[in-house]
Amino acid sequence: MNVLFIGNWDPVGNGLANRLLREGHTVCWMTEEDQTILWNGRLQGNIYRGSFRMEELTYILKSQMIDTVVFLTASLRETMWETAEYESHIRILSSVLAGLRGYPVKSFVYLSSMELEYADHVTPMLSDLMAGELYCQTYSTDGNLPILVARLGYVYGNATSAQVGYIGRTLNEILKQNPIRSVFGPEEYVDTIHEEDAAMALYQLLILRKTGRYNLVSGHPVTMEQLFQCLGKAAGMEARVEWKNLYHTASAQRFQADEIKLQTGWIPFYLIQERGREVLQRCAEQVRLEKAERERKQSRRHVLEPVIKRFAPGSFLRSGVETVLLFVVTQGILPFSQNVPDLKYVDVRALFVALTACFYGTEMGMLAAVLASGSYLYSLAVSYVDVSYLIYSVDTWIPFIAYIITGLVIGNHTNRRKETQKSQQNSYAQLEKKYAFLQAIQTETLEIKSKLQRQIARSRHSFGDIYRVVLELDSLRPERILLKVISILQNTLGCDQTAVFRLGGEQFRYARLMACSPILQEKVPKSLDLEDFPLLRDGMKAGELFVNTNLLPGYPDFAASIRCRGVLYGMVMVYNLESEKFTMYYQNLFKVLIGLVENNLIKALEYENTQREKNFISGTELLNPNAFAEQLAFMKSRQEGVSYPFTLAQVLPKSNMSLQTVSRKLYSLIRVSDYMGVDGEGTYWIILTNTAPEQLDGLKRRFEKQGLDVEAVLQ
């Protein structure tokens, strides 16, 4: 699917976008917010920021081949904290619906609120949502648009409380120890839904191309009193509630999700009184941390910030201070100008006015004219000139007029120059935006080109490629087959981080690393405790393909078990896949490759069983000299692009023991991925896979308890 989200950040939109991107769909988002992070930063999608315009919508629809549009309404839902002012979305919604008329869209999703089910609780925001639903119904009937309306309960999730609607704002008020004023009574029912549950439900509806109206609620309503108790426990303090009993909600029967559950098989994972409380506790802790950080920053800057703002470059106060300082310098120069013949005919005060007006404009130019006039009057006064003479002699007005005209003319010219410069800067900024837009189009075109090239390259996964894989796996040695898996997956899936683990039957807990890509040699543990990875363990036991769509840390991106006659033999893991490869195409390709591995492995193990008498010493698990020499030669033959280090060690019994006794003791000490045997001289040897010689010191104590000495041999 190619999905376009329209609107500002929405917790449900965030969850749905993450789900779509993880499943390999294309996501675009139109928003007026400048910097808000809309989804997981690891996932890639296109974001168009700025004011909404129809020409941009048309361009996005055509260039991205959009087939699904999701209209977001987070600012209108959950309106019990409604403010006096809000922005109606009907104009944008009507424009979008009109623009989609005649466009081959497969689904238009409109997010609404379960508050429209309430009996007598009507607000301007809810009226806006109701009008939006009526618009959608009209275009669905007259315009043949496939429209899906989802009425959501109170949404909560992993974001900060300020972003999660009524539940988040209420939690924030409880943390501030403010009283909560509820317009409903304590016994009124409401329903909540986690953002990931809502996203999963919407994803299922989109996959099935459902239309009509659905209630997206958990199906487990709680009373308002239970809701506030749960929020109080999450905040670690009791919620102080003032019950106003002004309105009624709906009955508990209205908050059912039977229809969507029956049609899609969806089941909510988070219930607010169970797992939801853990989510809210994390939100509360995050709010406390953010509050502490804000207080720390505020205490550090609240003293200096007003002063810094007043003296910022271009501020009136700073310009005035600089003008006064320049006037002081001018007053210092005046006495010297009277004694220097060349400066006697230069009016330093007029120069001061001209420079000030040139630097700062009309306002400071007039201030400089006033200061220069005052300086001129002072010089007359100290020269014993009667100041009243200035009133009756017109020719004495000339300096004052010159100062004022100089300040006005030059200052006015400076102001015009600054306005022109500002206008040019705005024009330049607009050109930069246009350039960025064109650059985005070019980048998008290159991405489309690269995707097409990759799609062409994927055509190599044909019968010829499968035939090549079959030839590579055509071996009668199980170890060689498992090692070949590394290079096959690297070439076929285009990844460089693959590992193969060896297991030991159905009742397993530990998986032993047999081989991996060189880049994983220091990253993947040599022994994996599957109890630490319950989802992976359950998937391997059930024989299912594990896909890390939730991006769980520590888990592989892909994993599959290898079975031989129904018994777990090993598992293959792929790490650090590109997000675009989390698709059904690559999952099916991975399954096909693992199926080929299993088929060849069965053949190799059956052949190994038939050759058991030939390869093993009778009555023991020890390889005979010829078989052990072949195994050692194989381990020494390095496979390109595969890392499987090993240690060769000699075993010396401390006392006389039979072959059967040594075999039994060694078999209990080594792992399922190790080998043991004898050479032509009857000396006992073991091959420890993925074990460095320095690790052997820790194993010697185990061997000594069994009466055996072990010593590593340099290769």
Domain shared by 9 and 151, yes or no: yes
Q: Is residue 696 part of a domain?
A: yes
242 in the same domain as 330: no
pLDDT surpassing 50 at residue 390: yes
688 and 602 within one domain: no
**Range of weakest confidence among 143-147, 404-408, 417-421, 503-507:** 503-507
Mean per-residue pLDDT for 82-106?
A: 80
Last residue of one domain, picked from the residues 565, 582, 610: 610
Evaluate if pTM is beyond 0.85.
no
CA distance 213 to 208: 14
Rounded distance, CA 123 to CA 116, Å? 10
The CATH number of residue 493's host domain is 3.30.450.40
- Asked if residue 426 and residue 481 are part of one domain, the reply reads no
Q: Provide the sign of the torsion angle of the four alpha carbons 49, 51, 56, 60, taken in this order.
A: positive
Q: Are residues 559 and 659 in the same domain?
A: no
- Comparing CA positions, the residue from 233, 230, 210, 234 lying closest to residue 221 is 230
Of 161-170, 343-352, 503-512, 653-662, the least confident: 503-512
**What confidence score (pLDDT) does residue 144 get?**
79
Q: Is 90 exceeded by the pLDDT of residue 149?
A: yes
Q: Do residue 53 and residue 190 come from a single domain?
A: yes
Q: Average pLDDT, stretch 414-425?
A: 85
- Any domain includes 78: yes
Most confident of 184-193, 242-251, 367-376: 184-193
Q: Is residue 300 part of a domain?
A: no
Using the 3D structure, point to which of 587, 610, 633 is the last residue of a domain: 610
Q: Could you give the count of Cα atoms lying within 13 Å of 185 in the half-sphere of its Cβ?
A: 9
Residue with tokens 């709680």, as numbered in its chain: 222
| pLDDT for res 5 | 93
pLDDT value for 16: 92
pLDDT at 312 over 90: no
Residue 310 pLDDT exceeds 60? no
Check residue 472 and give its pLDDT. Answer: 58
Is residue 707 situated within a structural domain? yes
Q: What is the pLDDT of residue 68?
A: 92
What is the percent of the chain where pLDDT is above 70? 85
500 has a pLDDT exceeding 70? yes
Which range, of 81-95, 550-564, 679-693, averages the lowest pLDDT? Answer: 81-95
**Are residues 251 and 393 both part of a single domain?**
no
Is the same domain home to 246 and 348?
A: no
Band (71; pLDDT cuts 50, 70, 90): very high
Residues 6+ apart with CB under 8 A from 136: 97, 108, 110, 145, 147, 149
Q: Residue 58: its pLDDT value, please?
A: 84
**Confidence class of residue 110 from pLDDT cuts 50, 70 and 90?**
very high
Q: What is the pLDDT of residue 201?
A: 92
Asked whether the predicted pLDDT for residue 463 surpasses 50, the reply is no
**Is 334 part of a structural domain of the chain?**
yes
Q: Which range (3-12, 25-34, 48-57, 533-542) has the least confidence?
A: 48-57
The segment with the largest mean pLDDT, out of 75-79, 109-113, 135-139, is 109-113
Res. 111: pLDDT tops 90: yes
At residue 69, does pLDDT exceed 90?
yes
Structural domain includes residue 288: yes
The answer to whether residues 220 and 200 belong to one domain is: yes
Choice among 535-544, 548-557, 611-620, 646-655 with the minimum mean pLDDT: 611-620
User: 483: part of which helix (H) or strand (E)?
Assistant: helix 478-493
Give the model's pLDDT for residue 271: 86
Q: Is 596 among the domain residues?
A: yes
Residue 104: burial class (beta carbons within 10 Å; 0-12, 13-18, 19+): exposed
Query: Which SS3 state, helix, strand or coil, does residue 213 take?
Result: strand
Instruction: State the pLDDT at residue 352.
Output: 84
| Spatial contact of 107 and 146, defined as CB atoms under 8 Å apart | yes
Phi and psi at 111, nearest 5°, equal: -90, 125
pLDDT at res. 108:
93
Say if residues 203 and 139 touch (Cβ distance below 8 Å). Answer: no
Contact 252, 221 (CB under 8 A): yes
- The reported pLDDT for the residue numbered 667 is 81
Structural domain containing residue 438: 307-459
Contact status, residue 665 vs residue 504, Cβ threshold 8 Å: no
The DSSP letter of residue 394 is G
Q: Which of 151, 140, 145 is nearest to 110 (CA)?
A: 151
**Among the three residues 610, 635, 665, which one is the final residue of a domain in this structure?**
610
The verdict on residue 553 lying in a domain is: yes
Write down the pLDDT at residue 406: 86
Pairing of strands 646-653, 558-564: unpaired
Same domain membership, residue 195 and residue 63:
yes
How big is the chain, counted in residues? 715
- In terms of domains, do 60 and 176 share one? yes
Strands 510-516 and 498-502: antiparallel
Q: Is the pLDDT of residue 474 over 70?
A: no
The dihedral through the CA atoms of 305, 309, 311, 312 has a sign that is positive
pLDDT at site 202: 93
> How much is the pLDDT for 85?
63
Instruction: Kindly tell me the sign of the dihedral angle through the C-alpha atoms of 155, 157, 163, 166.
Output: positive
Task: Tell me what the mean pLDDT of segment 137-148 comes to.
Answer: 84
Both 113 and 149 in a single domain? yes
Domain count, the chain: 4
The mean pLDDT of 501-505, rounded to a whole number, is: 72
| CATH code of residue 19 | 3.40.50.720
Decide: 703 and 654 in contact? Cβ < 8 Å: no
pLDDT at 715 over 70: no
Give me the residue label for tokens 């168009």: 48
Tokens standing for residue 13: 């939109």
